[in-house]
Structure 1
Amino acid sequence: MPSIQIDLPLSTPVAAKQALAQRFGEIYGEIMQVGKDLLTVSVHDLGDGGVWRCHDDGPPTPSALIMCDIRSGRPVQTRARLAQALIDACVEMFGLDALWVKVEFTQHSGDEMYHPHLAGFNTDWTGDERGATAHRA
């Protein structure tokens, strides 16, 4: 934790997946005020027709879904800023329609995230943790 999983309605080469993970890490570190060394990014390129948004009055629309598992405590404005920045990155990198990229958050306490390189569980969110405590995310 944190982790970001993205389901894409297209196929992408490994280099594009790595570039997306790098971009998401930079966005996450800046907006969430942490070192990015704990962020895990999973890119699920499900191919054409792999992700759909349903509608009441018509056929489903090709879409993308971003799932963010984070520590609780960030203000809603911070999470909204992160969501929009992740969407913007997907639009820029893959030409996705921003209207159909959905972001969902699941928030956890620090003791729900075990990191071997921290010798155990993470801590609860306390504010800007860049620098001396960059190993918390």
Structure 2
Amino acid sequence: MPHIQLDAPGPYPVAAKRDLARRIGRLFAEIMQTTPDLVDVTFRELGEGGLWRCGDGEPAPAAVLSCEIRRGRPPEQRARLADALVDACVEALGLDPLRLTVEFTQHAGDEVFRKVVVDGVLRGGLGRDWTEAETTTPLIESLTTAKRAGG
């Protein structure tokens, strides 16, 4: 975690998606005070007519960014991330910022399982909630240290 999923009316070139994924990872790490190696990005290219924004008139083509994140960050921080992600998607894919919604789902850290290599051995474990300590010690490093200590 985090898992950032973009539902959009694609298709988009692989290079554009790779570049945007890199940018999303860096933005997430910078704004959410963590490291980009935790970020997974999914592009769901629904095609023309695959996602609609409803309103008073006719539905209009739209896009949605779903952000599955660990809990612990204030709303203002999440709002800064949402704004930066919208800007990145608009610039990279030409999406309409008025029809791009960002949704956050927050999870306890222990709802995420990941494997890491500890002293040459593949070990798995549950994550942790985000804390400010992650700004100086990456989560993977602290989990590796805990596994090394028998945790």
* Superposition TM-score, scaled by structure 1 size: 0.92
Give the AA of the match of 1:23: R
Residue identity over aligned pairs, in percent, reads 52
Q: Does residue 54 of structure 2 align to residue 49 of structure 1?
A: no
Question: Match of 2:119?
Answer: none
Which one of the candidate residues 103, 112, 123 is aligned to 2:128? 123
Q: Distance in 2 between matches of 1:131 and 1:71?
A: 17
Aligned to 1:7: 7
| Alpha carbons 2:28, 2:81 under 8 Å: kept | yes
Q: Is the 8 A contact 1:10 1:50 kept in 2?
A: no
1:119 offset after TM fit, Å? 3.0
Question: Larger relative CO (CA 8 A, sep 6+): 1 or 2?
Answer: 1
State the alpha-carbon separation in 2 of the partners of residues 133 and 94 from structure 1: 31
Determine the C-alpha separation between the residues in 2 that align with 1:66 and 1:26: 16
TM-score, normalising length from structure 2? 0.84
Which residue is 1:109 aligned to?
A: 108
Where do 5+ consecutive residues of structure 2 fail to align? Answer: 117-122, 143-151
Q: Which runs of 5+ in 1 are unaligned?
A: none
1:41 partner letter: V
Give the alignment's Cα RMSD to 1 decimal. Answer: 1.5
Q: d(CA) in 2 for partners of 1:102 and 1:16?
A: 20
Q: Alignment length, in residue pairs?
A: 135
Alpha-carbon distance between aligned partners in 2 of 1:132 and 1:71, rounded to the nearest angstrom: 16
